[in-house]
Amino acid sequence: MLRSLFLLAGLVASPLAAAVAPAPVAAAVSLETAPVVAPIRLAQLQAAAPDANPVVLGHALQALQCATGNGMGDSQRLAVIDYSLPSSTPRLWIFDLASNRLLFRELVAHGRNTGDNLATHFSNELDSRTSSIGLFRTRDTYQGSNGYSLRMEGLEPGFNDRAEARAIVMHGAPYVNDEQIRKFGRIGRSWGCPAVRLGVAKQIIDVMKGGQFVFSFYPDNKWLSSSRYLNCAQRTASR
């Protein structure tokens, strides 16, 4: 059904994404394995962000539906990070869920030990300096060593539930910009935080604070098959 929907609408992943994504993406993420979500909303989000992979958006909506359908409060915004794309490509999309409108499309950093330009390794361990995948919920803001920052609660045991203990937060960083890409072929790397450009950090944090959802994707087979939010028919997402 989703394949027909996207073919008819002309909504397919961008050629750049197909060209640079690592080999596991093609094997693990295909339209045949697209999650079952509301097709109209999925089509609207893809129309708003035509360079985003529709299957990644589908997984994000599936996780959102599972969370809110099992007792978590509704979210007004949804951030989607596709770590299968290189850091030199905008791979963060933030949507307003009331209007299904795209608010931001931005560069976002991954952890130092997650990879160079391409992310390849993720962890939930303390002091790993890696990014984590899965569904997060935002909390409050604070002023820290990286300036105005946004705390994030990891909702997936074994994958990201140590986010608060690891101080995984959203913040601005001087190493996330086009100049870094021109010099080094990639943006700089964090200690695991989804860092964004300094010029948009405050706007993004203000839009995303206070209980919004962040979905960080990578085609990790263990996570895809065991995530309580991506396998809602088999598991209960309530905490």
How do residues 47-72 score in pLDDT, each as one tens digit? 999 999 999 999 999 999 999 999 99
209 pLDDT higher than 90: yes
pTM, two decimal places: 0.85
> Token pair for residue 196?
């964004």
Q: Tell how far CA 66 is from the center of its chain.
A: 16
CATH code of the domain containing 31:
2.40.440.10
- Domain of 216 in residue numbering reads as 2-226
1-34 tens-digit pLDDT: 434 333 333 333 333 333 333 333 333 343 334 5
3-state secondary structure of 119: strand
How far, in Å, CA of 128 to CA of 122, rounded? 9
Has residue 71 been placed in a domain?
A: yes
Lookup: tokens for 57: 């958006």
Within its chain, how far is the Cα of 171 from the centroid?
A: 15
Mean pLDDT of 133-143: 98
Q: Determine the pLDDT at residue 234.
A: 53
- For residue 77, being part of any structural domain is answered with yes
Any domain includes 90: yes
Q: What percent of the chain has pLDDT over 70?
A: 82
**Alpha carbons 118 and 123: distance in angstroms, whole number:** 15
Q: Which of 18-22, 95-99, 190-194, 198-202 has the lowest mean pLDDT?
A: 18-22
* Residue 232 counted as domain residue: no
233 within some domain: no
CA distance 166 to 72: 23
| Structural domain contains residue 235 | no
Strand partners, 152: 138
Mean pLDDT of 199-207: 98
Residue 46 above 50 pLDDT? yes
Q: Which of 32-46, 75-89, 156-170 has the lowest mean pLDDT?
A: 32-46
Mean pLDDT lowest among 28-32, 144-148, 173-177, 229-233: 28-32
Q: Which residue has the higher pLDDT, 35 or 106?
A: 106
Q: Does residue 239 fall inside a structural domain? A: no
Total number of domains constituting the chain: 1
Give me the mean pLDDT over the 134-152 stretch: 98
Residue at 112 is within a domain = yes
Determine contact, residues 136/152, Cβ cutoff 8 Å: yes
pLDDT of 222 higher than 50: yes
Provide the pLDDT for residue 37.
73
